Structure formats: C-alpha cells, structure tokens
Chains A and B, each alone.
Chain A
Amino acid sequence: MNESRASRLDLIVTPAIGLLLAVLLFVVWNYSDMDPTTERILEPANLARQLQQQLILAFWSTLLVIIVAIPLGIMVTRGGARGLKNTMVGFLGLMQAIPAYGLIVLFFVWLGQGATTVILALAAFSLLPVLRNTIVGIEQVDPSVIESGKGMGMTPVQRLARIELPLSVPVIISGIRTATVITVGMGALAFLIGGGGLGETINAGLKLNRPTAIFVGAALVALVALAFDFAGALAQRYLHPKGL
C-alpha cells in the first residue's frame, strides 16, 4: 500500500520539480545579462549536441547495466551460487566506493578516451543497484509460493519466468531507476576524457567564471535526470504486477 502511494507521489512530485526547474531555466536564459563569452558557451547548437551526447551516454550505459546485471542477479540466486553472490556484491560495493571521478580516470587509463570508455565506466558504477535489487527482488518472493509452484510440477525455468521474475519486477525497476539517475549525473563528468556531454558547458562556466553558463548546464543535467526518473516511475506504475 505504502509503496503504491509513494509511486503515485513520484508521478506528481518529479514532474513538478522538473517544471519548476524549466521555468527557472527559461527565466535565466531570457532575462540574465549575457556577455559574448557566455553567449559563446551557451551556443544553442553546442548545447543541443551536448544534450544529445548526455542522453546517449545515459541510454547505452543503462541498457548495458540491464543486460548484464539482471541475468547476473538471476544466475547468482540459483541454488549453489551463494558464495559467488556475496563475493560479487562485495566487489561491486567496493567499486562504488571509488569516487566517480576516479573511476572514469581509471577506465581512461585502461581503455583510452572516448564515449565508449565513459559508457563502460558509467555501467560499472551503476551495476550494483540493479544487481542488488535483482537479488533482493528474487529473494523476497514468498518461498511458499515457489514451493507450491514446484509442487505442481513447474520446471525451474517456469518457476523463474512465471513466479520469481514477475514478483520481483517492482524491486528490479526501482534498482534501474537508481542506476539511470547515477548514469545521468555521472555523465556530466564525461567531458574529462573526451566523452562530451553537458559537463563541457559546466566546466567552461567554472573555468571562465560565468555563473549563468554553470546554471544552464547544471539545470539541463538535472532535467535529463528527472526525465529518466519520471520514465522509471511510469514503468514502475504500469509494470507493477496486478494483484500485489
């Protein structure tokens, strides 16, 4: 009950904050004094390119995380892989303890510069929430439900597809939501290793001391993150199994 009320609140609060931010952005964009440097930084064509890069980075890294973390989570919750599960969750927790900045640099040293390196770094960083939620989601399924499925002659694959996964969907999606917000936020650091993104605008604003540019860049990043989060909230709402 609580969870559904919370997700309904998500569907209102997230767009409300987004709208507020958009209005602020509109006001700043139209009414602040812009010197030629700021105007050059905030060149619309530049912003559009960076926004697109930001979206692409977030999209691919999230997709990569989903493709890797969910099957991995399923695998380690099968009997006989308990040891592997703990080792893996521990290792990924360690990865998350490395600052995002450091992780991107480490990946740069390993793979060189470019968007692919950024996507891989983002995916590595946001793997844990999806993996952990997949494991938790599957493990919180009432054992008596699985037992009765087994007792009626469901094969392990049928039990997974018809019982365990559908019942863990809400938890898994909330993990994916966390991951997307991380990838969008961290994507602002992509410029460090030539991955582009709105970080370029923020960085230029910082270096050249142009607060308007900093605000516009940061607000756009926040709007992208909110948009992804809202999409996640919608998915949670509409993919939630009926009857729960």
Chain B
Amino acid sequence: MNAHDLDPLHEPRALIELVNVEKTYPGAEQPAVRDLSLAVREGEILVLVGPSGCGKSTTLRLINRMIEPTSGSIIFEGADVTNTDPNKLRRQIGYVIQQIGLFPHRTIAENIGTVPRLLKWDKKKTAARVNEMLELVGMDPSIYGPRYPRELSGGQAQRVGVARALAADPDVLLMDEPFGAIDPITRDRLQNEFLRLQAELKKTIVFVTHDIDEAVKMGDRIAILREQSIIAQIDRPEVILTDPADDFVENFLGSGAILKTLTLNRVRDLDLAPVPPVLPGASRTQALAAVEESSSGVAILLDAQEHPVRWVDRRSLDNAAKPIEQAGRSVNVMLQPEDTLQDALSAMLQTSTGMSVVVDGRGRYLGCVTIESLASLLVQTQNGAA
C-alpha cells in the first residue's frame, strides 16, 4: 500500500517529489538510498521514520541537495531542481537540524535574519520579520533579539532554530530530528507548540525521527523506511497503527500499537465536561452555587488571569475558617488542546476525581476532561477504524 493507492481526485498537489532517486556513496557497494520515489503533498507533515541507518536523514538531505543524488531527479514546486544552483534552492527551504547550529557569534536577531540577509532584503523589512518570528515562537524580541545563543536554554535555542528556518517564509520545512536532543518534558511542549504553529502556517514539512511515538504524534502521514530507504509503508498514522503492511512495520511499531492509538487523538477531540469556574473575588455563596450547579460536584477557582488554581467542592467550602482562595486542592496538572490522549490519561490518573483541567496556550481555563469522555472517544475510534 502506498500513496498512489489513494484517490487521486482528493490528493493535494505534490510540492516535492523524489523520482527514482538513488544515492551511492563513493566506495560503498550498496546504495544508501535505492530507487526511491516519494511525493510530499502541499501542507502536510510527512514523517520519515525507521531504524537507525535506514537512510532517513540521507533522504531528507537529498531534498535540499545537502547530499547530491547519484541518479534520479528532485522536483520542487513543479520544477526539476536536480541540477540548479543548490544555494538558491536551499534559501527557499527551511532547514532545522538536531544540533540546531545557531551561529554562536551572532545575536539571536542576526541568526534569525540569516536567510533574509542572503536574499538581500532591506534592513527594515528584515528587522520587522525577525521580531515577528520571535513573537511567533513566543519569545520577546526586545529581550531575546540582542542576546547570544549561549544565553539560551535548549528549548529556547530550538525555538530560535525554527524561527530562523521560517524567517524567509519558505513553503517547505525540512526537520532532521529537531527535538531529538531535548529532555522529554520540554520536547513534549515544543511538539505541541509546533503543531499549534503548523495549524496556522500550513507549511509543507518533511520530518525525520527515529521515535515512532513522535512520528504518530507529529505526522499527517508517516513513511516507515527500512534499509536503503525503501518505503515499507506510507500512510496516515491511524492506518499504519491499525493495519501494518508487513512484519517489518509491525515489529517497528512494537507491542504497544493499541496504546499508541492514544497518541493519535488530541485533548481537543474530547468533549469538555461542564465544570463551572469560580471567578476571583466571588463570595462563598456564589462559589457554593457554582458547586451545586456542577454535575460532578466540583468547581474550578480561577485567578485574575483566568488561570485555574484550585479544585473546590462542597465540603471544602463548608469550612468557613478558610478563605476561598485556600479551599480545596490546588490544580497541579493541566492539559492543553494539543496534548494527546496519552498525556490526558496520565494526567487523569494523577487526580482523584479522574478529571483534568484543560487550558489554552496562555494558560487560561477552557474546561475539564473526564476519563468517561476519553473512554467513549476511544470506543468510537475503534469502531470507526474497524
């Protein structure tokens, strides 16, 4: 099963195509990439995933000709770019690598302005664009613009790397294990941020990872590669998880394939349970009214910024000795709409109520999700896929 089996009428146009591409390194007997044909559709995240040494990075680097193919051709936006000026091609394609490779002797602003400068944009336009990019990745331009890369944390450096790749507004982004060197918690946050960004920007992205969980989370489509970059299966993640093409794919997915379906859906797919908020400064009576009204018997106390701070229920409010601000239990775990159901499940298991709070990107209260809503969504998905 591969991309060509899908209905051609509904297939968006391919922005990048590799046609019968082969790469043999000098002195090697076997090609590193053998007769690969691959189409990347406009606006999708295509994840290349496979065991180490399968040639997934090589494949990615063939697209912007960091590695020149031995034979075959590369089509970019409808034009054959196999023999054009590689530097011109690369200026039109964003490129993010695991080590990021920020220029240590240049400020963050100068780093982000690299490609605009190569394209000879005027200074004003570049400066405006740099600020826009920093804001896009959630960093204050006046604080971070003049800093140097060594002053950034790993997560910040990765954000700057993405901002730099996006600076000249390329249609295509190539990402080579971009979150590979980052601790799991930050990685999760960066993945969510990136998905949120992508929902807005709709770039065409080729993403390399060796981590199947990351592939399932990030990919609109996944290409599972075996040695010599031969495509074992290319399809939407839910199809790959429920219907692996062969033993190789099945082995690569591992035993937890069913649990991985939890990473396919997001918190935003769940129905939010109506847990009423209690606004700051509310009286005890108002808070009690909110709890009464709630079907689950609890309410969420918000602060002035609409951030959820405490779970309150009837019993905790009855204790008149305590001010409302200290009633109940504090909200420790919060989910965002981009989080996967796997994240949601583990968050719910940490609360005694089986509920978890959902907040938006700025930390404002959206609602709660319950373990029941998760279970019912899973049943639906299973029925839908079968």
Q: Which 7 A-B pairs give the minimum distances between C-beta atoms?
A: A148-B101, A243-B148, A153-B91, A144-B99, A153-B90, A151-B95, A241-B105
Please tell me if B88 contacts chain A, counting CB pairs below 8 Å: yes
Contact with A along B156-171 (1 / 0, CB 8 A): 0000010011000000
Residue positions of A touching B, CB distance < 8 A: 142, 144-155, 158, 162-163, 166-167, 241-244
Q: List 11 A-B contacts (CB under 8 A).
A: A148-B99, A148-B100, A148-B102, A151-B64, A152-B164, A153-B86, A153-B88, A154-B114, A241-B105, A242-B148, A243-B148
| Residues of chain B contacted by A158 (CB below 8 angstroms) | 118
The answer to whether A243 touches B95 (Cβ under 8 A) is no
A148 to B90, CA, bound (A): 11
| Residues of chain B contacted by A163 (CB below 8 angstroms) | 103
Tell which of A144, A154, A243 touches B97, judged by Cβ atoms closer than 8 Å. Answer: A144
The answer to whether B87 touches A242 (Cβ under 8 A) is no
> What does DSSP make chain A's interface, helix, strand, loop or mixed?
helix
| Residues of chain B contacted by A151 (CB below 8 angstroms) | 64, 66, 90, 95, 97, 101, 174
**Chain A: which residue is nearest B106 at the CB level?**
A243
The answer to whether B102 touches A145 (Cβ under 8 A) is yes
Please tell me if B69 contacts chain A, counting CB pairs below 8 Å: no
Question: Smallest CB–CB gap between A75 and chain B, Å?
Answer: 21
| A153-B89, A243-B149 known; A148-B95 Cβ under 8 A | yes
| A144-B97, A243-B148, A243-B150 known; A152-B114 Cβ under 8 A | yes
Per the 8 Å Cβ criterion, residues 57-101 of B in contact with A are 64, 66, 86-91, 95, 97, 99-101
| Residues of chain A contacted by B115 (CB below 8 angstroms) | 152-153
| Residues of chain A contacted by B100 (CB below 8 angstroms) | 144, 148
| A158-B118, A242-B148, A243-B150 known; A152-B103 Cβ under 8 A | no
| Residues of chain A contacted by B66 (CB below 8 angstroms) | 147, 150-151
Please tell me if B24 contacts chain A, counting CB pairs below 8 Å: no
- Which residue, of A153, A158, A167, has the highest number of chain B Cβ atoms within 10 A? A153
| Residues of chain A contacted by B101 (CB below 8 angstroms) | 142, 144-149, 151
Please tell me if B361 contacts chain A, counting CB pairs below 8 Å: no
Contact with A along B117-156 (1 / 0, CB 8 A): 0100000000000000000000000000000111000000
**Chain B: which residue is nearest A151 at the CB level?**
B95
The answer to whether B118 touches A150 (Cβ under 8 A) is no
A242 to B147, CA, bound (A): 10
| Residues of chain B contacted by A150 (CB below 8 angstroms) | 66, 90
A153 to B95, CA, bound (A): 10
The answer to whether A154 touches B118 (Cβ under 8 A) is yes
| Residues of chain B contacted by A243 (CB below 8 angstroms) | 104-107, 148-150
| Residues of chain B contacted by A142 (CB below 8 angstroms) | 99, 101, 104
The answer to whether A244 touches B87 (Cβ under 8 A) is no
**Chain B: which residue is nearest A167 at the CB level?**
B105
A149 to B174, CA, bound (A): 14
| Residues of chain A contacted by B87 (CB below 8 angstroms) | 153-155
| Residues of chain A contacted by B97 (CB below 8 angstroms) | 144, 147-148, 151
**Chain B: which residue is nearest A158 at the CB level?**
B118
Question: Smallest CB–CB gap between A222 and chain B, Å?
Answer: 35
Question: Smallest CB–CB gap between B121 and chain A, Å?
Answer: 14
Question: Smallest CB–CB gap between B177 and chain A, Å?
Answer: 12
The answer to whether B103 touches A149 (Cβ under 8 A) is yes
**Chain B: which residue is nearest A148 at the CB level?**
B101
Question: Smallest CB–CB gap between A159 and chain B, Å?
Answer: 10
A163 to B111, CA, bound (A): 11
- Which residue, of A150, A151, A155, has the highest number of chain B Cβ atoms within 10 A? A151
| A242-B148, A243-B150 known; A152-B104 Cβ under 8 A | no
| Residues of chain A contacted by B150 (CB below 8 angstroms) | 243-244
| Residues of chain A contacted by B102 (CB below 8 angstroms) | 145, 148
| Residues of chain A contacted by B103 (CB below 8 angstroms) | 145, 148-149, 162-163
| Residues of chain B contacted by A147 (CB below 8 angstroms) | 66, 97, 99, 101
